[in-house]
Amino acid sequence: MSGQILPKKHHPIAPQAAPGTLADEILKALMFRVGKNANVATGHDWLNASIKVVRDRIVTSWIDSTERTYKAGGKRVYYLSLEFLIGRLMRDAFSNMGMLEEVREALASLGVDLDVIAELEPDAALGNGGLGRLAACFMESMATVDVPAHGYGIRYVHGLFRQEIHDGNQVELPETWLEHGNPWDFDRRERAYEIGFGGTVEAQTNELGQPSGNIWRPQERVLATAYDTPVVGWRGKRVNTLRLWSAIPIDPILLDAFNAGDHIGALKESNKAEALTRVLYPADSHLAGQELRLRQEYFFSAASLQDIINRHLGEYEDLTSLPDKAAIHLNDTHPAVAVAELMRLLLDSHGFQFEAAWDITRRTFGYTNHTLLPEALESWPIHVFEQLLPRHMQIVYAINAELLREARDKGLDDGQIRNISLIGEDGERRVRMGNLAFAGSHSINGVSALHTDLMKQTVFSDFHQLYPNRINNKTNGITQRRWLFQCNPALTSLIRETIGDRFMDDIEALQELDRFADDASFREKFAAVKRANKERLTRVVSERMGLNLDPSALFDIQVKRIHEYKRQLLNIIEAVALYDQIRSHPERDWVPRVKFFGGKAAPSYFNAKKIIKLANDVGRVINNDPAVRGLLKVVFIPNYNVSLAEVMMPAADLSEQISTAGMEASGTGNMKFALNGALTIGTLDGANVEMKEHVGDDNIVIFGLTAAEVKDARTNGYNPREAIENSPELSQALSAILSGVFSHDEPERYRGLIGGLYEHDTFMCAADFDSYADAQRRVDDLWRDSADWNRRAVHNTARMGWFSSDRTIRQYAGEIWDVPA
């Protein structure tokens, strides 16, 4: 923002408020809960005080929801996720409580601007990208559709790194979201569980000398303590809990060491415990691989299971009824070790026989697969797994024996048995977490229709043959509260004026907007909202980057994690080709365009970082070339996160969803853009396929190979060099980059990245280039007829209601969890 923090530090007279008013409550909270008066309060203090006042009302509803669930004796959902990319919470919670405007007015009466203090709230980035954001949307939707649910994850001290761009390169800085404390969470010190690592397993015998189970004697122990954040559903009817675990050392051990004079040893232990939850691994769709990651996975899975079992046994006799009262969901394989942990608890602590334990486990767990990329399929070397979790290793072998016996009985061949095995035998023996999650769950779902089909044909084809009813589809969704109501209040108001408020409780009623697409006066209002949102983004870019953009240009946006399969490179190469065309054909009627890029690269992902550098290099040259006459700009906005997404989605004319077909499981950025009235240029990948069906073929621009064609090209020996040589535009663009047009200081800079395309082009950039460039010129044609463009944009907003995460959650509730919604 402008740097101005209201209120002025010293009021001549402290503001007053009539007793009993919200303003008065805020002043009291400032006084008695923050410990300041209005004369000295900073922006953070006002933010804190406002949150505390609304939080009190949330807590009332929270306790009420908890009691309601308890009395009903119904089933609860437990959503285990190593990531929750929640972003800022204030606007979300205030708005869902129906208090946003009331608080705004109360603060205004005290001389404080809500929008200014809102900017001070840290963006909680406890996730990398789509997977973590999905978990956050799901939490909000579960509360909204009245599913009693707990989210379980880790309270990382440092979320995803903050990205700065220095000289065109990504620089990673630590994220310090807890710097000013966290007014949202409740420290539940009394909710603490011991978590063990390492050590040995002792076989037990009874009085008769017969084997009677196994006891794990861990060598290390840490304590998991809970922090709870209330998650408010729409209209505040239900408030659920997001419970995040933090690791602390177990005091007695430390005291012993301390008393024995081993001060350094005691500190080391303490550091080791705290290191567990210090930082989120910044790899998206990529295996993190380090032992610390497995420790994190086990730590939060084990703490969550103890908590779930504890709650269950507080209400019911024993764990036989667990599957009827608890649906535990694994968000990807990160918590898959929970399958082995539940088995261990049932076998070793609760006296179940293997068969009964396995039955309970499978009826309790569900698993969502998020990617087919081989580099993201988690597996752990046997020796790492065994050393850290010796008892779990035994249990994995026992499960595997049972699984493979079943597979053999059903006639699967040796190759199939090898694929299904929980232990990968090619090269180093490894525990396959995807197979463990599959074997231990009654439901395995993909996240779009296409992804689910591919899952059946590829990674899990043999499992699918063994258990033909387990794989199902649940196409992802987004919460319209955050991704329309909050981030685009002007569009929300316009829709309310036009079709009334019904869509605010039933998002599919947005369809009623469809018939206004032909109403010229409505279209003009719709376009005016888009224009204002583009101006807002323009201001952000000008403040952060000192770059002035023309809001009347076509705003073409690609924001998401930087990954080769997402093909930011294809987009950049097209920009270079367009640049060349604009210079060679100045007489043509070019559509002014701004191409925005944003996204973080995993710190160790070499090519992704090169792509960021290239976007910045290309931008610098194009933006400063007078021959372009401002017709094309290329902008890389640093530090893409949820809060920035909230500004970008409403400001987009064109959404870039251009992954190599078959590689993006679903995407959710695609949904956020279209809901806010952007047209999509995209491949038939992930949820784009279903978006096309919903918005209609005329209102989306599709190009490129299909997933089946990509597969064929790969099996039939795709020749990228030939594809490049057959495309003069592409050849020219690649030669320009290779010859150092954008990197005079280091002409060889892109030899690996671009030169590599001629050799392998794993992601089919060359194969799709001409089709993509043609599609972009079709976009230009559509843009020239603004009435027609706006008609299509309205259809996008009107027809995206189905992509609400409320719909997704109702499907999970009915078809996987067996809970009412």
Q: Decide if 233 contacts 65 (C-beta within 8 A).
A: no
Helix (H) or strand (E) holding 670: helix 669-675
The residue from 295, 672, 749, 795 that is catalytic is 672
| Token pair 């027609």: residue | 788
Q: Does 282 bind ligand PLP (CB under 6 A)?
A: no
Instruction: Give the integer Cα–Cα distance in Å for 23 and 9.
Output: 18
Q: Judge residue 625's burial from the number of C-beta atoms within 10 Å of its C-beta, 0-12 exposed, 13-18 middle, 19 or more buried.
A: middle
CB atoms closer than 10 angstroms to residue 709: 16
The residue from 44, 55, 362, 370 that is catalytic is 370
Q: Does 642 bind ligand PLP (CB under 6 A)?
A: yes
Q: Phi and psi dihedrals of 163, rounded to 5?
A: -105, 130
The residue from 371, 668, 680, 797 that is catalytic is 668
Among 245, 302, 243, 307, which residue's Cα sits nearest to residue 276?
245
Q: Which of residues 522-561 bind ligand PLP (CB under 6 A)?
A: 560-561
For 187, the 3-state DSSP assignment is strand
Closest separation between CB of residue 687 and ligand PLP, Å?
9
672 belongs to the catalytic site: yes
Among 589, 496, 485, 491, which residue's Cα sits nearest to residue 531?
491
Helix (H) or strand (E) holding 786: helix 786-799
Helices (H), ranges, 175-328: 251-259, 263-275, 291-315, 322-325
Q: Which of residues 113-142 bind ligand PLP (CB under 6 A)?
A: 129-130, 133
Q: Phi and psi dihedrals of 4, rounded to 5?
A: -80, 125
Q: Which is nearer to ligand PLP, 470 or 600 (CB)?
A: 600
Q: Which is nearer to ligand PLP, 144 or 680 (CB)?
A: 680
Amino acid at 485: F
Q: Which is nearer to ligand PLP, 81 or 441 (CB)?
A: 81
DSSP 375: G
**Binding pattern to ligand PLP, positions 738-777, x when CB under 6 A?**
----------------------------------------
Closest separation between CB of residue 238 and ligand PLP, Å?
24
Q: Which is nearer to ligand PLP, 358 or 803 (CB)?
A: 803
Instruction: Give the integer Cα–Cα distance in Å for 712 and 467.
Output: 28
Q: Phi and psi dihedrals of 410, rounded to 5?
A: -85, 5
Instruction: Give the integer Cα–Cα distance in Å for 735 and 753.
Output: 12
Closest separation between CB of residue 673 and ligand PLP, Å?
9
DSSP per residue over 97-166, as a string? Answer: TT-HHHHHHHHHHTT--HHHHHTTS--EEES-SHHHHHHHHHHHHHHHTT--EEEEEE--SB-SPEEEEE
| Token pair 């719909």: residue | 807
Helices (H), ranges, 556-595: 568-584
Instruction: Give the integer Cα–Cα distance in Å for 34 and 48.
Output: 7
**Binding pattern to ligand PLP, positions 575-594, x when CB under 6 A?**
--------------------
The residue from 44, 566, 567, 795 that is catalytic is 566
The residue from 91, 295, 334, 560 that is catalytic is 560
Q: Which is nearer to ligand PLP, 150 or 672 (CB)?
A: 672
Q: How far apart, in Å, are the Cα atoms of 186 and each of 181, 228, 662, 756?
A: 11, 5, 42, 51
414: tokens are 């040796």
Closest separation between CB of residue 475 and ligand PLP, Å?
13
760: tokens are 């392998």
For 8, the 3-state DSSP assignment is coil
Instruction: Give the integer Cα–Cα distance in Å for 535 and 550.
Output: 8
Instruction: Give the integer Cα–Cα distance in Å for 642 and 88.
Output: 8
CB atoms closer than 10 angstroms to residue 20: 8
Question: E strands of 88-185, at which residues?
Answer: 124-126, 149-154, 162-166, 169-173
Residue 147: CA count within 13 A, CB half-sphere: 32
Closest separation between CB of residue 566 and ligand PLP, Å?
7
705: tokens are 């190979």
370 belongs to the catalytic site: yes
Instruction: Give the integer Cα–Cα distance in Å for 43 and 7.
Output: 7
Closest separation between CB of residue 671 and ligand PLP, Å?
8
Closest separation between CB of residue 641 and ligand PLP, Å?
5
* Binding segment toward ligand PLP, per CB under 6 A, in 4-12, 139-147, 183-191, 640-648: 640-648
Q: Which is nearer to ligand PLP, 499 or 541 (CB)?
A: 541
Closest separation between CB of residue 816 and ligand PLP, Å?
22
654: tokens are 């064109």
Q: Which is nearer to ligand PLP, 137 or 622 (CB)?
A: 137
Q: Which is nearer to ligand PLP, 253 or 647 (CB)?
A: 647
Amino acid at 672: K
CB atoms closer than 10 angstroms to residue 374: 9
Instruction: Give the integer Cα–Cα distance in Å for 199 and 393.
Output: 12
Q: Which is nearer to ligand PLP, 399 or 569 (CB)?
A: 569
Closest separation between CB of residue 558 and ligand PLP, Å?
8
Closest separation between CB of residue 135 and ligand PLP, Å?
12
User: Exactly one of 232, 645, 658, 700 binds ligand PLP (CB under 6 A); which one?
Assistant: 645
Q: Does 91 bind ligand PLP (CB under 6 A)?
A: no
Instruction: Give the integer Cα–Cα distance in Å for 145 and 140.
Output: 9
263 belongs to the catalytic site: no
Among 284, 162, 186, 262, which residue's Cα sits nearest to residue 544?
162
**Binding pattern to ligand PLP, positions 652-681, x when CB under 6 A?**
---------------xxx--x---------
566 belongs to the catalytic site: yes
Among 291, 305, 207, 220, which residue's Cα sits nearest to residue 257?
220
Closest separation between CB of residue 621 and ligand PLP, Å?
27
Closest separation between CB of residue 130 and ligand PLP, Å?
4
* Binding segment toward ligand PLP, per CB under 6 A, in 43-51, 250-258, 311-319, 637-645: 637-645
Q: Which is nearer to ligand PLP, 645 or 651 (CB)?
A: 645
Looking only at the bridges linking them, the beta strands covering 430-432 and 379-381 are antiparallel
Closest separation between CB of residue 375 and ligand PLP, Å?
16
Instruction: Give the integer Cα–Cα distance in Å for 509 and 256.
Output: 64
Q: Which is nearer to ligand PLP, 133 or 610 (CB)?
A: 133
560 belongs to the catalytic site: yes
Q: Which is nearer to ligand PLP, 101 or 375 (CB)?
A: 375
Closest residue to ligand PLP using C-beta atoms:
669
| Token pair 């505390």: residue | 52
Q: Which is nearer to ligand PLP, 481 or 560 (CB)?
A: 560
What is the set of active-site residues? 370, 560-561, 566, 668, 672
| Residues of the shown chain interacting with ligand PLP in the complex, contacts defined by CB under 6 A | 129-130, 133, 560-561, 641-642, 645, 667-669, 672
